[in-house]
Amino acid sequence: MNSVPEAEDRTGAGRREDGADGRDAGRARTVRLTVAQALVRFLAAQYTERDGRRHRLIAACWGIFGHGNVAGLGQALVESGQGEHAPLRYLQGRNEQAMVHAAVGYARQNNRLSAHAVTTSIGPGATNLVTGAALATINRLPVLLLPGDVFATRTADPVLQQLEVPSAGDVSVNDALRPVSRFFDRVHRPEALIPAALQAVRVLADPAETGAVTLALPQDVQAEAYDWPEEFFAERVWHVRRQAPEAAEVAAAATAVLAARRPLLIAGGGVHHSEAEDALRALADATGIPVASTQAGKGSLRFDHPCDVGAIGHTGTAVADELARTADLVIGVGTRYSDFTTASSTLFAGPDVRFVNLNVTPFDAHKMGALTLVADARAGLEALGGALSGHRVADAYEQEYARGKESWERAVDSAYAADDADARPTQSQLIGALDGVVGDDDVVVNAAGSLPGDLHKLWRARSPRQYHLEYGYSCMGYEIPGAIGVRLAAPDRTVWALVGDGTYLMLPGEIVTAVQEGVGINVVLVQNHGYASIGGLSEQTGAERFGTAYRYRASDGSYTGDPLPVDLAANAASLGMDVLRAETVGELRTALAEARASARPTCVYVETDTASSDPAPPGPAAWWDVPVAETSSRPAARKAREEYERHAAARRRHL
């Protein structure tokens, strides 16, 4: 270390220039630090507060070092100290995208009240962030990105890994992060860090604006010293407001509910972010309005609550989708109305259907031509509950959806049923086996493949945040690092990453991080030799499963040869995990229980039966728009196109 930290200064070294000799009376006290040291010290002093509880806004900093951050932020992190009371704990990752996924898992599990930062070198380290940033922003989850950037002085241009744009001297690869960031700034001079850092944390802590926030840090500036006003490092508490609804909007929403005969509430991710589950349950208990949920909102009500009708949309339950088709009022709470939720604009078919949208973000509240209720989900649900006091839906409506719910529960039972313990499990049976071992507080993490649809339909969510699906970006590879972030946020909860073989191959490296940090996640690795989900979609859309199986190339050039001799279980073991191989339903049950009992990162490897469709999850109750070739010489595409046009005719805009 090249400077000596002051005794009371745990967050960074510094020489204080406080004008103590009287010469500078009236001048702000300053601390001399590099830009990177100042940023570490600043971040360590930021807190959020909601409902009277305080949280560290940036609880840790992930990083992979290279030129661009090694001598800047890297030096600052070591200088600040990395012992038990480190002001900003450093976490070593293996891949920049995966570090963002871990940060996102952490933030989501913390209901966005605490987040992580991610620092990278310039060039490829920085552009590896783009996918993670898009994922964070689309899911409205906070993460602070700190990519290194090319020299502000330009004295060494072009530095290693620098993009040179002949027509624009101020563009670097980091500009690729702009459209996927809710706030972006490049700190060209030391003093510019002050407004940039303050804006960055403001956006991170704002429920309506949050997402990926990027501070691009030219590497020469990171190492430059500056005399910082001491008050820049003062503890700051960012109040995460629960925006109250306007009385007029509550009154209009309540009038619409009172007039509705078939209201349906859609719970989106905002219910969880706002910790509005109790308020939602109180409203459902009082009014009898059925509640369907999106991928992000599942678990808002327990699966066995009488008003919970399960998943909505393309991957929805028969009962929820039927209610959606016939609803005269849809009350969206904290939902973005993605195409999966709306069945690509075909689901809400009631002739006079109207929408009320409770959302903290006006952008989302205005979708579907809705009556807007711009507010925090909890505050809005409580206000609406008050305005609806004494109101209840008709008995006949309650009985109707209760019957639908009951028959859906039986459908789940049959999808889970596995009488032959010696048979290879289907994916539904795998979900059933996991259902059989988890406790109320276990967390199931997933993002892409055929699992999200099956889980959305079949999973019986028992507690808020048990069902952790990243389906805003549905990014293959989120699962393992995402689960690490969840477990860092909730060390007492058992965390399961459900991972397809294709997904595993995309981003398994963070297993090493789990092993290194002693983060005891469980990985359920589902082997079905390729992209089963896209294979099914390809078949349905006339593309004949092209390019979706992991097989040797056959003599006609297609990948229809033998399966590949790949051993992913051995791969997981080689990265340091304990691995349990299960070949039958019985072995799977035993392995899952063993993994749950183990504190070590453990992988349960299982090959699923894709040939048998019995038991299968019930098929889609609603459409998803994936355009099919309008002209083709191949019968499969021609047939698929006919089907496509039939469905597409039901599209409808809600204005």
Stretch that binds Mg ion, among 121-129, 230-238, 265-273, 498-506 (CB under 5 A): 498-506
Total binding residues for Mg ion by CB under 5 A?
Answer: 5
Which regions of 211-311 does DSSP assign to beta strands (E)?
212-218, 225-229, 236-239, 263-267, 291-293, 308-311
Q: Which of 185, 501, 587, 607 binds ligand TPP (CB under 6 A)?
A: 501
Give the nearest residue (CB) to ligand TPP.
500
Q: Quickly list DSSP for 467-526.
A: EEE--SS--TT-HHHHHHHHHHH-TTS-EEEEEEHHHHHHS-THHHHHHHHT---EEEEE
Q: Residue 593 or residue 626: which is nearer to ligand TPP going by CB?
A: 626
**Does residue 531 interact with ligand TPP by CB under 6 A?**
yes
* Minimum CB distance to ligand TPP, residue 481 (Å): 13
Stretch touching ligand TPP by CB under 6 A, among 394-402, 489-497, 532-540, 622-630: 532-540
Considering CB under 6 A, how many residues would be counted as binding ligand TPP? 17
Determine, following the binding rule CB under 6 A, whether residue 12 of this chain makes contact with ligand TPP. no
Q: Which of 98, 103, 498, 534 binds ligand TPP (CB under 6 A)?
A: 534
Q: Are strands 443-446 and 354-359 parallel, antiparallel or unpaired?
A: unpaired
Structure tokens, 537 = 């979609």
Task: Specify the residue, 190 or 502, whose C-beta has the smaller distance to ligand TPP.
Answer: 502
Structure token pair of residue 395: 């008995």
Least distance between Mg ion and beta carbon 500 (Å): 4
Distance between CA atoms of 308 and 293, rounded to whole angstroms? 8
Minimum separation from the CB atom of position 566 to ligand TPP (A)? 12
Q: Are 528 and 608 in contact (CB under 8 A)?
A: yes
315: DSSP letter:
T
What are the distances in angstroms from CA 98 to CA 118, 129, 136, 475? Answer: 10, 8, 12, 11
How big is the chain by its Cα radius of gyration, in Å? Answer: 26
375, interface contact from ligand TPP, Mg ion, none, CB < 5-8 Å by kind: none
Is 538 an interacting residue with respect to ligand TPP (CB under 6 A)? Answer: no
**208 touches, from ligand TPP, Mg ion, none (C-beta below 5 to 8 Å by class):** none
Q: Output 310 or 472, the one with its CB closest to ligand TPP.
A: 472
Residue closer to Mg ion by CB (options 129, 525) is 525
Closer of 100 and 475 to ligand TPP (Cβ)? 475
Q: Provide, rounded to whole angstroms, the least separation between the CB of residue 608 and Mg ion.
A: 9
| Closest approach of ligand TPP to the CB of residue 505, in Å | 8
- CA 517, CA 97: separation in Å to the nearest integer? 18
Q: Which is closer to ligand TPP, CB of 11 or CB of 450?
A: 450
57 lies in the site for ligand TPP, by CB under 6 A:
no
Beta strands 236-239 and 143-149, pairing class:
unpaired
Of 332, 330, 407, whose CA–CA distance to 374 is shortest? 332
Write down the least CB distance from residue 433 to ligand TPP, Å. Answer: 16
Q: Is 541 in the site for ligand TPP (CB under 6 A)?
A: no
Q: Which of residues 443-472 bind ligand TPP (CB under 6 A)?
A: 448-451
Task: Tell me which of 501, 510, 587, 607 binds Mg ion, using CB under 5 A.
Answer: 501
Give the helix ranges, DSSP H, for 417-450. Answer: 427-437
Phi/psi of residue 32, each to 5°?
A: -95, 115
Query: Is position 474 an interface residue for ligand TPP (rule: CB under 6 A)?
Result: yes
If the CB atoms of residues 378 and 424 are measured against ligand TPP, the closer one turns out to be 424
Q: Pick from Mg ion, ligand TPP, none: which does 450 bind, CB < 5 to 8 A by kind?
A: ligand TPP
Residue 270 neighbours by CB under 8 Å, 6+ apart = 276, 297, 333, 334, 335, 358, 359, 360, 377
Q: Where are the alpha helices (DSSP H) in 205-246?
A: 219-222
Positions 502 through 561 that interact with Mg ion (CB under 5 A):
502, 528, 532
Tokens of 264: 């349906």
- In which residue are the tokens 């904290």 written? 334
Least spacing, CB of residue 536 vs ligand TPP, in Å: 8
Residue 500 sits in the site that holds Mg ion (CB under 5 A): yes
Do the bridges between strand 354-359 and strand 329-333 make them parallel or antiparallel, or are there none, so unpaired?
A: parallel
Phi-psi region of 52 (alpha: psi -120 to 50; beta: other; left: phi over 0): left
Residue 163 burial class via C-beta count within 10 angstroms: exposed 0-12, middle 13-18, buried 19 and up = middle
Contacts (CB under 5 A) with Mg ion, residues 454-473: none
Binding residues for Mg ion, per CB under 5 A?
500-502, 528, 532
Binding residues for ligand TPP, per CB under 6 A?
448-451, 474-477, 500-503, 528, 531-534
